[in-house]
Every structure is written in structure tokens, then in C-alpha cells.
Amino acid sequence: MEIIREMREHDYEQVVFCSHKSSGLRAIIVIHDTTLGPAIGGTRMWPYKTEEEAITDGLRLARGMTYKCAAAGLNLGGGKAVIIGDPRKDKSEGLFRAFGRFVDTLGGRFITGEDVGITLEDVDLIGSETRWVGGSSESSGDPGPVTAYGVWHGLKACAKAAFGDDSLKGLTIAIQGAGNVGYHLAKHLNQEGANLIISDIFPDKVERAEQEFGAKAVEPEEIYKVPCDIFAPCALGAIINDDTIPQLKCKVVAGSANNQLKEDKHGAALEDRGILYAPDFIINAGGVINVADGLYGYNRERAMKKAQGIYDILLRVFEISKQDKIPTNNAALKLAEERIELIAQLSARIRKGPGKGLIL
């Protein structure tokens, strides 16, 4: 793999390789774009089969964070870190503290937190070596409930666009995955009076949703074909693909899962079937909004209010999609890229004051 060539293609700023023999640390930190501010992105721990696989994942995820932050109106850029290792076997105090020291060497260009394979306790260990962590237990904590709150408001925006009314009362909503986000989303939806259908690979999670919210359970592979108003993917990526799109019997796809479209073309394929798609990096931004809030002295109410703003951002995306006659996933990218471009132009023209904003 020619790494610098890959970086050039999508304008990555920096890739840092980290190694510490005695703790076994092998990590890669990717900074995609810091036009809007320091790069933020969780650290993922995964048993990647090859270094190339880890680099590719880090690059892809960092770029996604740039767009997510830009569209959410945050003054943060996009980054991501990956640690090569098995989260069930390879964790140690030394590994996370060594990683924390590498994060610290970047002097605040990169701020990290939880992602797949990383717990709050791991973040706290990283944070014992650097102040450049978000979402530690001392700060904003678990972002899941705020992500779910943002998704709930995103669903309301979708209902407004698709059915002319943002009330979810009486609508049938099928949720894939009753984990952290799926559970909290189901709670909001149940309180609003929606009818729920739920699937998970773990029966205890399904039973909890059945008991607490009167949700109807279906087998994991059945969830795509249940007749419903909204299908909310809250488990895996790449589940909107050539196989699943023909099965869907919904009017809207809107949920928390990252990278829901297997390929870009599947955004257009949903549109062709008359299904409104809420771009994932717009609707699931509540998590990063929550972590970002913690960087300024955490205020839960302020974070929730900002996550509620996903409603208006989504409506704007749908408007761009209509005006420009482009699928909603492309409209979301356009919205994010325009904001980055705007701030880049400001930075090029107006000299910044000493950390107190712009001098006009």
C-alpha cells in the first residue's frame, strides 16, 4: 500500500504510527482534516489481520469524522485511531498508557475517546497520560443515550419530510439492534406512542424491549422485510445493500449505525424505491456532540439541546437533496464540504486572535 498516495487522494494531513514493544502496543493515529479545529475521533481496538487493513479502516473512519463534525456544526476536525489487538485478550494498563503518551505528543491536534473494543475504563487509562481525551468517566461519559436522543429527533424530521407531520405517535418503527443506542431510542419512541418491532442477536436484549416497551420481536434476518413506516438500523454497517434494498417495506431508513450504505450507489437505490434515507453521519452525531461538549466543561442540557438540532440539519439535507436533485447521502456530504470550505476561506482572509475567536 502506498500510504502517502492514499493520503493525497482524500487530502489527509497526518498518519502517525505508534509502537511500544514491552506493552505490545501497535497503533495508528490518523488526522484527516483540521480546518475546523483539532481532529476528534474515537480509538478502535480490533484484531486486524494485516497492518494494511488497520490503516484502511483508520483512514476511512477519520474522514467520516471530518464530515460528521462539519455537518453537526462543531468546531472540530476529523481523526481516528486504531489499536491492532484483540480487545478480549490484549488489553493492559501499559498498552493504554503508552498509547496515551503518543496521543499527548500531538499536543491537542488529536482528541480521542471510546470506539469499538474500547471501554470507559480504557479511556480513563489513556486519559491518565494525556488531557486530550473526550468522553472519560470524569467528563461526558457514555455517549449512547445522547446519540439515541439525537436519532429520535432525526426520526421526527424524517416523519415531517416523509409524512408531513413530525409526530411518531402511531407509526410503526422497526429497530435493528437493541444495544446501547437501540434501547434508549426504543424508550423515547415508546414514550411517544410509536409501535415497535425489534431484533437483536441476543435474546435477552430482545426480551427486555418486549417487556419494557411492548415491542414485537422478529428474527434478525426478518427485520428487513417487516412492513413498517421507519426502519432504524442501530447495529451494523453495510446493511443497506443489493440484497436488502429489494426486501424493505418501509418509507424511511433512519438509525444510528455507522456506514449503513454498503456503497454510495445504495443512497440512489433507496431514492429510486421512494425510501427517504437519513444519512448516518448526520443523524448519529449526538455521540460526538456529547463528547465535544465535555471538552468545554460538560453540560448535559447543552449537549442534549445541540443533539436536538439534528432535526433542523436533516431537514436542510433533505432540502438540498430536493433542490439539487441528488440523493440525500450526497446532499449531506455537500452540506459538510460547504461548511469546511467556508471556514477555510475565513481562515485564509481573517487573521485569528490569540485564542479568543476572530478579530473582525
Between CA 1 and CA 57 the distance in angstroms is 13
- Which C-beta is closer to ligand NAD: that of 63 or that of 205? 205
Distance of alpha carbon 12 from its chain centroid, rounded?
Answer: 19
Instruction: Say if residues 228 and 249 touch (Cβ distance below 8 Å).
Output: yes
Between CA 149 and CA 309 the distance in angstroms is 11
- Which C-beta is closer to ligand NAD: that of 106 or that of 314? 314
Q: Where are the alpha helices (DSSP H) in the chain?
A: 3-9, 51-71, 93-105, 120-127, 144-163, 180-192, 203-213, 265-272, 280-283, 286-294, 300-308, 310-324, 328-349
Strands 252-253 and 230-233 turn out to be parallel
Q: Among all residues, whose Cβ is closest to ligand NAD?
A: 179
Residues classed as catalytic? 80
Three-state DSSP at 17 gives strand
**Residue 61 main-chain phi, psi, to 5 deg:** -70, -35
- Which C-beta is closer to ligand NAD: that of 65 or that of 106? 65
Residues of this chain that bind ligand NAD (CB under 6 A): 143-144, 147, 176-182, 199-202, 205, 220, 234-236, 256-258, 284, 287
276, with CB counted inside 10 A (0-12, 13-18, 19+), is buried
- Which C-beta is closer to ligand NAD: that of 125 or that of 206? 206
